[in-house]
Amino acid sequence: SSEVLEAIENVIQGVLQSLAQKKAPVLTVANRTDWRNIEFKDSVGLQMIPDCTTKQIRSDCPQSARRFALMLKILSMIYRMVQSNTYATKRDIYYSDTLLFGTQSVVDQIINDISCMLKIPRRSLHVLSTTKGFVAGNLSYTEEDGTKVNCTCSATAVTVPSNVQGIKNLTSHAKFILIVEKDATFQRLLDDDFFSKVSPCIMITGRGIPDLNTRLLVRKLWDSFQIPIFTLMDADPHGVEIMCVYKYGSVSMSFEAHHLTVPSVKWLGLLPSDLERLNICKDALIPFTKQDENKLASILKRPYITCQPLWKKELEIMAASKLKAEIQVLTSLSSDYLSRVYLPNKLQFRGWL
């Protein structure tokens, strides 16, 4: 915590020095969303280059003065929280003054900018993300406050903890981890008791694009157990994008890649080639939108696709057919096809990429 306080004090000292010299104070932050500032490393995923381009948030410029003020406001809130050892969610910060901040996304972006500027992970700033992910299956752990959590005996899923760094005593006999894109599929597998029928496993869903805590938990489970991690996504560009976030990270959080990515993640399904192999009726598939075409074209250009020739092949099948499918399409074969046939066969015959 002393490191965090010192980093904030240095920023404020810079502001005061500028004022003393009758200069307009400036905050310098990295261009987090520029692909030119990103390098791809097989072992880490997408990470920010050390000498990346920056942008200035000036206090004397109408376009950025408000953002400058909001950054100082949030820095002061973080400083007080670290000093008093209290925590707040990004939502708490937004609701502390909704008129001032305007929208939640403004708060989210500023907190990420501050984390990147100070080179300090967000958790160490005492800012917690609101969790939306669920975990179930063969896993138990102790939360930071001493609460024991057992996901194994629970008929319903457990919410991913809001302070993943603080959990300890993780124990599991799981043979693999299954990341499920959607909540509906996750609940279906839970109802079918999938995690104990085939072999003991841990199931996680970020319920769409994963929040930070869900990604941190996947990484923590990988560090703790070193067991295979599989993804179950829709056969569409959006599903592929989500899988890439778990595996290689995102551009906007590339400065924290080391804590968030798991490059060993495997694509289990739903593969575009599965649709042909299983003779899925064309009427059950959904035609691409213009947005789907653009998303797929952008994914195919990304640096990590060149080192995944089998993934590239699948994406090319999708691009050629201009058709996509949700995991639920398997119910057209039979209501429990996913948990009774599809997943057990995939796992037994190593049908992943």
- Active centre residues (catalytic): 95
CA angle 310, 262, 268 (to 5 degrees): 40
**Cis omega (within 30 of 0) for bond into 217:** no
The b/e string for 171-182 (b: 16+ C-beta within 10 A; e otherwise) is: ebebebbbbbbb
Backbone angles phi, psi at 300, to 5 degrees: -60, -25
Distance separating the N- and C-terminal Cα atoms of the chain: 42
Amino acid symbol at 124: S
Angle at alpha carbon of residue 338, lines to 285 and 278, rounded to 5°: 50
Q: Which residue, chain included where needed, has tokens 């890439």?
A: 244
Q: How far apart are CA 37 and CA 259, in angstroms?
A: 19
Q: How many CA atoms within 13 Å lie on the side-chain side of 26? A: 11
